[in-house]
Amino acid sequence: MGPLVNAKMSLAKVAITQANTPVSWAPPTNCIGIGFKARTAVDVRVSTVAGVVDAPDEAGGAYFTLTNGTAFNAPNGFCLNATLNPLLYFAAAGAVVVEIVVWTKVTA
């Protein structure tokens, strides 16, 4: 992977205030990279599908668990497809702030 060329980094946050209550976030349309982590020691459930992060599903739900102390990073050409997956849904067992870093394409 090469460096992000003509990209601008910006920061966002998602505040989860109630346990097992999903909060959605939409990346900007010109997003080319994304990364996120929990600000405090809480596992966070993440999905592009509405209604699946509401409560932990030990049988295997359609979500990704961002475990305590880890981060998800997918820069350099990866971001959500605004048409196919316009939102990310976050939920956790307790209150937490999810810190998000976004790289957007800068047009000349």
SS3 15: strand
- Which candidate, 47, 107, 105, 106, places its Cα nearest to that of 72? 47
Is residue 88 in some structural domain? Answer: yes
Contact 8, 106 (CB under 8 A): yes
Q: What is the pLDDT of residues 55-98, one digit of tens each?
A: 777 655 788 899 999 999 876 656 655 555 578 899 999 999 99
- Model confidence pLDDT, tens digit, residues 5-61: 688 889 999 999 999 999 999 888 788 888 999 999 999 999 888 888 887 776 557
Domain that holds residue 79: 7-105
CB-CB contact of 89 with 48 (8 Å) = yes
Domain count, the chain: 1
User: What pLDDT, on a 0 to 100 scale, did the predictor assign at position 1?
Assistant: 43
| pTM over cut 0.75 | yes
Flag whether 2 is in a domain. Answer: no
- CATH for 89: 2.60.120.10
